[in-house]
Amino acid sequence: MKQTIKEALLYQPLADSRVRCTACARYCNIPEGKVGLCGVRQNIGGKLQLLVYGKVITGHIDPIEKKPVVHYMPGSKIFSIATTGCNWLCSYCFTPETVIVTDKGVRTIKSIFDDGINEESNGLSSTRDLGELRALTHKGRFKQIKKAFRHFFDGNVLRVKPWYLPEFRCTPDHKVFATSDPEHPPIKLQARFLTKKNFLVIPKFKEQAMPKSIDLTKFLSQIVLPKYKLARGSTSRLQPFTLRTIVELTSKGWTSRRIGKHIDLHPATVRRARSTLSRSTIEEFASHYRPYRVKSSKGRVRLSHAKHDLPRFLILDDSFAKLCGYYCADGSVSKSSNRPNSYTVGFTFGREEASNIEDVKELVKRIFGLSCTIAPQGSAVHLFVSNSILGILFRDLCGNDCYTKKVPDLILAATDRNLIKSFLEGYLRGDGYKTPANESKEQSYLGANTVSESLSLGVCLLFLKLGSVPRWYEGENAVTTMIEGRTVTRHNDYLVKVLKKNSSASSALEWEDIKGRVLEKDDCYLVPVRSLTSEHYAGFVYNMEVDEDHSYVANLSAVSNCQNFDISQRRKVEGTDLMPPDVVSLALNHGCQGIAYTYNQPTIFMEFARDIGVEARKNGLINIFVSNGFDTPDTVAMMDDFLDCITIDFKGSGETNFVRKHIGIPDAQPIFQTIQEIRDRGKTHIEITDLIIPEIGDSLDEARKLSRWLYDNLGPDVPVHFLRFHPDYKLMHLPSTPVKTLEEHCRVAREEGLRYVYVGNVTGHPWEHTYCPECKNIAIKRYGFDITGWNLDDKNRCVNCGYHLPIFGQLSSSVSEDRFLPVVN
């Protein structure tokens, strides 16, 4: 398939090579190299390019009445086409606390979005690019996260709780990997269709290359290092203006002596200032603080202006993993208030944990060559190691305190079973406990508590890597509690536990491979759904686009990219190569009277549609848009070149809360403005549809407001179609629209003075027909999309009373032909 692109006409150049797209009322502000929300208009070199020019994704022959258009060229056969792309938003997302498994550890989806760059915002939604972060996919491998998304959502979300493992909350339309038959492979299933008979998918990790050691020089260069305060001296009192002068004159080749004479400073002061400025910025110099710099020599690493050093290379072996486990259980990093750049790594044990104390002392000595200071205090024993590099290392690998603890990324991504077991051994020796699992006391639960959700989920993943299915629980605590007369803040507890045998031969850290209700497959675990509940949620929801696999792991369960970016299916450039003359030739060869631009919003490929439309007019064909009306003055002006007829589709009567929640636009005002602008130009026939959706978009008051507006702005003769909703696509949890509801909407519209009001998607209903407003007899009889009776003369006057009906064109001879045929698939 060849790539055909063409420079768009509907855009405005902006500063910094950005462009402002004017193809729809989102007015996307698009940076260099990026695409608009529709996915088919890209900024290339500061010029907006239409990526789908000459790419038709679908083409069908169908009746003009299917658009629906009933007052323009009745009975015509129309060639309907579309490209990929969409400018509507869909609600396929997760709530902000959802935890994602990445190659940098487990992180909330909100924090991933917050770390994104190059934000593109469109009203209620935002998109950000991600850097090198990769997510675990349903195939058990890590793939790059390309984008993260956020938009406002107000509606019901589903709380999906599997057996043993964490629950998650998502919008009902989001697809998860699930199966109801373990013998069949999982499929993508909308969360709303999950039942307790379904199994969720927990992917197994694929083997991957792992580093054998940590290069501390490289590690420290990739993180933000602390700053040290300068001792006050002659250079510390220099002002930014003086420093800029020194930099400027140095660039001109002046010596320190000459600069000093020029600005009245001693040459030695200038030399010290020049030396410091070669390693730091003017802002850093003037602030009296300097960032530490990494210095490496003779296989050792230290920070500038710091005493302590460490071996440059730390071997990633069982000993290091075990020490990290101890730290995650009982360790912390602190700084002295008097010496803020002096880090201390501490471990706290009970006096009865003598073996753990000795083990940590020996591990610290063996790995780092450092000795621990022991400080008994009451019933506890504290171990301290003062070393800034060590503190920074543990802080970044494992977290700073009990609330931010996490399994180190390197261990979480490891596939070495011994390494994983060593970490779990250290963690469970430090924080683990044993409780009976049943009355017979033949089995016990081996578990550990933490207030860090990230740590608990990381530990779960490690157990799963070893082939064991842990039990994960969240204990909700009161926000505050009283301890020794003081009010203290409490956090929720997270518990992870596994089953073990109570045999004397088994050590404290051996557990059984008991999976309970979980089924193990070659590439995943199948975990049954335990409960499903629905609750109201109003706030931001999030999603991501992951390269290649288009999936990720949310709260340990495999889920699909959201529909917006399965619109990576709808929004990627694909289709049959058809240039404008080719499209027109297909329409003519099939005996069509016109071309309709439909299925998606046609203005996103406006330049392609215009060129087809101009060619079509030359060949006697009409052009029809089926549009959501979310257009701009620029698109309406371009319609004059070729457009004959437009059907503008409302949903839920355009009520503000409905369009915000279910379409993702702030309000419907641009749609009303589009209608007025098309009316004022007077060149295009207009018909209106309103999709009536039960429970969420069927207000009679809103229908009355819309009907009154249409009467005031388009007059009594505008055709209005109230369409029946059928459960499909995003809203399959809702019932079909009751026919009575549609009839009530039609009654309201007629009360507001509209003469031609139709019921749509109800084949055989009497209000499919066109009635003469004067004598009330049937002027045009219909059954579905077929015309079965024609009671108008050659001037479209009622044969019974002579009243002239506002119908454009005579009944087409194509009405008796087969008007349904797929052409481009």
DSSP state letter for 270: H
Q: Which residues contact 192 (CB under 8 A, 6 or more apart)?
A: 158, 172, 173, 732, 733
Maximum C-alpha span of the chain: 110
Based on the fold, state whether residues 342 and 466 are members of the same structural domain. Answer: yes
Based on the fold, state whether residues 487 and 553 are members of the same structural domain. Answer: no
Based on the fold, state whether residues 346 and 449 are members of the same structural domain. Answer: yes
Based on the fold, state whether residues 374 and 261 are members of the same structural domain. Answer: no
* Cα 729 off chain centre by: 19
Is 399 inside any structural domain? Answer: yes
Q: What is the 3-state secondary structure (H, E, C) of 623-681?
A: EEEEECCCCCHHHHHHHCCCCCEEEEEEEHHHCHHHHHHHCCCCCCHHHHHHHHHHHHH
Q: What is the pLDDT of residue 733?
A: 57
Based on the fold, state whether residues 397 and 467 are members of the same structural domain. Answer: yes
d(CA 158, CA 191): 7
Is 278 inside any structural domain? Answer: yes
- Phi-psi group of 756: left, alpha or beta (phi > 0 → left; psi -120 to 50 → alpha; rest → beta): beta
Based on the fold, state whether residues 386 and 490 are members of the same structural domain. Answer: yes
Is 585 inside any structural domain? Answer: no
- Per-residue pLDDT reduced to its tens digit, 179-200: 999 999 999 888 888 999 999 9
Is 174 inside any structural domain? Answer: yes
Of 461, 445, 449, nearest to 508 by C-alpha is 445
Q: What is the pLDDT of residue 1?
A: 45
Phi, psi of 73 (to 5 degrees): 45, 55
Based on the fold, state whether residues 375 and 479 are members of the same structural domain. Answer: yes
Is 170 inside any structural domain? Answer: yes
d(CA 800, CA 815): 23
d(CA 53, CA 578): 9
Based on the fold, state whether residues 278 and 333 are members of the same structural domain. Answer: no
Low-confidence ranges of the chain (pLDDT < 70): 1-3, 88-92, 121-125, 154, 224-237, 284-291, 305-306, 336-341, 437-442, 501-515, 562-573, 727-734
Q: Which residues contact 802 (CB under 8 A, 6 or more apart)?
A: none
Of 716, 621, 613, 787, nearest to 74 by C-alpha is 787
Q: Which range of residues forms the domain containing residue 481? A: 309-501
Q: What is the pLDDT of residue 738?
A: 94
d(CA 152, CA 790): 50
The CATH number of the domain holding residue 261 is: 1.10.10
Q: What is the pLDDT of residue 646?
A: 97
Based on the fold, state whether residues 353 and 274 are members of the same structural domain. Answer: no
Q: What is the pLDDT of residue 433?
A: 82
Residues 217, 221, 225, 228, CA torsion sign:
positive
Based on the fold, state whether residues 326 and 411 are members of the same structural domain. Answer: yes
- Per-residue pLDDT reduced to its tens digit, 680-717: 999 999 999 999 999 888 999 999 999 999 999 999 99
Q: What is the pLDDT of residue 91?
A: 59
d(CA 780, CA 807): 10
The CATH number of the domain holding residue 338 is: 3.10.28.10
Which of 561, 577, 612 lies at the terminal end of a domain, its last residue? 561
Q: What is the pLDDT of residue 657?
A: 84
Based on the fold, state whether residues 357 and 481 are members of the same structural domain. Answer: yes
Based on the fold, state whether residues 316 and 261 are members of the same structural domain. Answer: no
Q: What is the pLDDT of residue 501?
A: 63
Q: What is the pLDDT of residue 514?
A: 64
Which of 515, 542, 561 lies at the terminal end of a domain, its last residue? 561
Q: How many domains does the chain have?
A: 3
d(CA 100, CA 116): 15
